[in-house]
Every structure is written in C-alpha cells, then in structure tokens.
Amino acid sequence: MKLKQRVVLLAILLVIFIFTKVFLIDNLDTSAANREDQRAFHRMMASLHVELDPRLDHTLQSPWEIAAQWVVPREVYPEETPELGAVMHAMTTKKIVKADVGYKGTQLKALLILEGGQKVVFKPKRYARDYVVEGEPYAGYDRHNAEVAAFHLDRILGFRRAPLVVGRFVNLRTEIKPVATEQLLGTFMTVGNNTCFYGKCYYCRETEPACADGDIMEGSVTLWLPDVWPLQKHRHPWGRTYREGKLARWEYDESYCDAVKKTSPYDSGPRLLDIIDTAIFDYLIGNADRHHYESFQDDEGASMLILLDNAKSFGNPALDERSILAPLYQCCIIRVSTWNRLNYLKNGVLKSALKTAMSHDPISPVLSDPHLDALDQRLLSILATVKQCTDQFGPDVVLVEDRMTLSHL
C-alpha cells in the first residue's frame, strides 16, 4: 500500500474513532446520567411524605448529632434520610431551655436553644395564609410558612442546600418568657388578650409586634447549622440596589454575565451554576430579596451556596418577578440534573409533590392554593427561558454536566 493511501486510511480511522468517542461513548455517558437523574427523582417522590416520629432505630445518637453529621460541603442533608422525621419531630417538640433575640438582621426572629443544646431560629406568624403582600417583590414582613415551603421545595428539586425547617406552636407565656433573656423579655407586651413581642432587629418596632392567638404563637423553626461549619457571607452578583431610580449593572447590561464569569469564585468551579440553581429556586418561590448569600468558609469556591433566609417568599401569587431569573437568561447555562428535574416536575407534578411534602407539618396547610398554582405557572416560564437559550446557543452550550468546571467558559 502506498504511503499516500496509508495516510488516508489512518485519517479515516481517526475520524471514525473521534465519531465513536463523541457521539457514541459520550451519548452513553449522557444516557446513564439521565437514567440516574430519573432514578433519583423517583426516590425523592417515594420519600416525600415525612412522618414526624420520635423513634430513632439502630442508633444511640441524638437527633441533633445525626443532623450535624449530615452536613458536608455540597449538601446540608443527604438524599436518603430515614431519620428526617425524628429530627423534625425533635425540632417541633423538644423543650425550649433558652430564648434570646435573633441574630443580627432586618426581620423579627428569636434564637431558641432546645433541650440537648440545639439552636433553632424561630420566625413568628405575621400574616394569614390568604394574605397578599402588595408592592415591591421584597415588601412585607418575613413569612414563617415560606420557610417551611422553601425547605420542602429544596428537597423536591434535589438541591439539599436549605437547612431543615418545620412549623411549631409555642406558648409565649409558659415556654418562652420563663427562659427568655432580659433583652428579649423587654420586648414583650400585651395587646388586647394576646401576648406579643417585637424583638431586636433593624426593622423591629414596638409599634409593630408579632402577636400570638392568646398565648399560643404559630411559627417556624430552622435548624442551626453546626458550629464546625462557619459561614462566609458574599454579596450576590445579581443583588438589587434597593434605591429608587438607581439600577444595578445587571439590570441594564445584557453582557453582565460575561464580566461575572471573569471574577472569582464564578470563573471556575460550581458557584456560578449554584447561582443559577438559586435563581430558579427563588423565582419559583417569589423571593427577590437575596442580596447576599452564604457559603462555608475557606472553601475556595467549592462549597455550595446555602439556601438560608427564604422567608421573603410566597407573598403575592399573582406576581411573577422575571428579573429574579436574570442569572439564567443572561448566562444561558443550567445544570443537566436541574434541567432534568424541572422537566420531571411539569404537568402539575410540582404542585402535587410540594402539597404532599408539606402535609405532615404541624402548621399544615402551609400554603394557600393560589401559591401552589403559581409554582406550576412559574415552572413553565423557567422551561420556556431555557428553551430560548437552547434555540439561540444550542443545548451543548446551555446544558452543563454537573461534574464540569466552568473554566472553559
């Protein structure tokens, strides 16, 4: 065989090899990943309903020790959590041994210590379920039920980045006041026949207390993350200015994402994809108030974006604030696993799944039907946004494998 013919033959074999690698092997890998995503979805659906049961079989550990061991850099709790019901039961029933004003912030909350030394954050009920918060998408008081709903949505989406939350009724007179610090106790008052408190925070006012129904106050409790995982606060690159007439750069610069991609920690690693996951999460719940976010300290960008403080959500079911999706429609990338999960949840599955997940909660029903209906409508908007991206740039650019870093972008 002449040299020229051998070269041509080698070139043909090389093309065949590349074709096999790109179109066959990679497609097999993708199919395997898609099948695993589908299996994970079915596992999630099978474990949606969590019974609040105090029993902890096959362990001598406390619920608090179990929950602390769940936390790792990329998730707050694992996919399979047979002890979840016991931990949440403890959160809603364990004796309160100390009550203090909440950690610094803008909204009313209390820091409780439960029997066994576990810290939880208590957010009181401020609105009836059918109350509609008018005005800006970040207006109004924190909604305690929004924290409960957001936690279960985090489970359903498969992110597992939100701390555990459960509803709880507390007797302010017998459970809180006897163990309250002087600082918290000084904010208690009686309005009519109801016990109230206004706490200490940036917007806390004596004229705007949270009031119980008599002595019994409905609220949510959020499990404090273990102290061995200190948090680091970051300014959200798509944060708002909160100043009338002054826009943030992302609100007028359509190429803003290109600048973000050149800035640490968004230039490589998982953080930018976490930002986009969070935008999808926040759009679904109607949270336009994530001006900062937390990760674990000293993580060099490898930690998850932790989904803390979700109470400025589920305010107005008729308001779909599209600007919350700016990271998605400006960057036009999304994790394959997130894309798959969103598709599994369409056609009413999301509403049904969230309703089932929340049905066990002590403050159930957690959300009114209009808010549940809004979730399904917002999901369609997210899917349409991703389709616009794939139509413009192609699925190979938009759909990013979970294991892939972003240094190539």
The helix/strand/coil state of 295 is strand
Q: Is 224 annotated as a binding residue?
A: yes
Q: Is 312 annotated as a binding residue?
A: no
CB 216 within 8 A of CB 169: yes
Helix axes 349-358, 369-393, angle to 10 degrees: 140
Q: Is 123 annotated as a binding residue?
A: yes
Q: Is 294 annotated as a binding residue?
A: yes
CB 141 within 8 A of CB 127: yes
Residues comprising the chain, all counted: 409
CB 231 within 8 A of CB 297: yes
Amino acid in the structure at residue 143: R
Q: Is 142 annotated as a binding residue?
A: yes
CB 48 within 8 A of CB 357: yes
Q: Is 223 annotated as a binding residue?
A: yes
**Residues known to be catalytic:** 289
Instruction: Give the per-residue SS3 of 148-215.
Output: HHHHHHHHHHCCCCCCCEEEEEEEHHHHHHHHECHHHHCCEEEECCEEEECCCCCCCCCCCCEECECC
Own/partner pairs for 400-405, CB < 8 Å, 24+ apart? Answer: 400/273, 400/333, 400/334, 400/335, 400/336, 401/33, 401/335, 401/336, 402/33, 402/273, 402/335, 402/336, 402/337, 405/268, 405/269, 405/270
Instruction: Please tell me the number of Cα atoms within 13 Å of 383 on its side-chain side.
Output: 14
Q: Is 107 annotated as a binding residue?
A: yes
* Residue for token pair 């809004």: 374
Instruction: Give which of 239, 249, 296, 289 is closest to 271, Cα–Cα.
Output: 296
Q: Is 134 annotated as a binding residue?
A: no
Q: Is 164 annotated as a binding residue?
A: no
The annotation places the binding site for Mn(2+) at 142, 309
The annotation places the binding site at 107, 123, 142, 222-225, 294, 309
The annotation places the binding site for ATP at 107, 123, 222-225, 294, 309
